[in-house]
Structure 1
Amino acid sequence: MTESKEERNKAYWAANLRLITIILCIWATVSYGFGILLRPYLMSFTVGGADLGFWFAQQGSIYTFVCLIFFYAWRMNKLDKKFGLEE
């Protein structure tokens, strides 16, 4: 019984780390990639009077971060239910 519980805990932790890794990659791509590294390529597009790279650096990364917070909470609730850890 304890071995299956340990395996379940390891699977839960692995799924949690996978989700965190994906979310951090998305955040880094939007924040650093679009706002800094790809800004010269995104300057030809405008959003609200500013080029797209500047918009991502100033507001887009914040909006993405907030969306990722809600996405993480939603996915963790589903993960908790899957592993029987819901409140």
Structure 2
Amino acid sequence: MSDHTINAEKYWQANLRLIIGSLIVWALASYGCAILFRPLLSGIHIGGTDLGFWFAQQGSILVFIILTFFYAWRMNKLDEEFGLQE
């Protein structure tokens, strides 16, 4: 295998790790905190309501937006590491 092929495989593996990690965080925030862990979070109040409801209504959306910016920032770093920057 050529160096270019090995470099491309390492880049893709790093990209997949980033995608899978982001999806896990998103799933924990949207499904975990909003649905599965809601009874545990009901005693914690934020903004006049319990934390589980907050995650269901707004928190998961904010986590998704933060993940989007994090993914873009991290992909730019990966592009620089592998010499693929624009």
TM-score exceeds 0.5? yes
In 1, Cα distance between equivalents of 2:75 and 2:47? 35
Structure 2: runs of 5+ lacking an equivalent: none
**How many residues are aligned here?**
86
Q: Which moved more, 1:61-70 or 1:2-11?
A: 2-11
State the TM-score, normalized to the length of structure 1. 0.97
| Mapped partners of 1:72, 1:64: distance in 2 | 12
Q: CA deviation at 1:15?
A: 0.2
Aligned-partner Cα distance in 1 for 2:9–2:57: 38
TM-score, length-scaled by structure 2 = 0.98
Runs of 4+ aligned structure 1 residues displaced above 2 Å come to none
Cross-structure match for 1:15: 14
Please list every run of 5 or more consecutive structure 1 residues that lacks an aligned counterpart in the other structure.
none
Post-superposition CA distance 1:27-65 (Å, at most 9, x none):
000000000000001000111111100000100000000
User: In the alignment, what sits opposite 1:59?
Assistant: 58
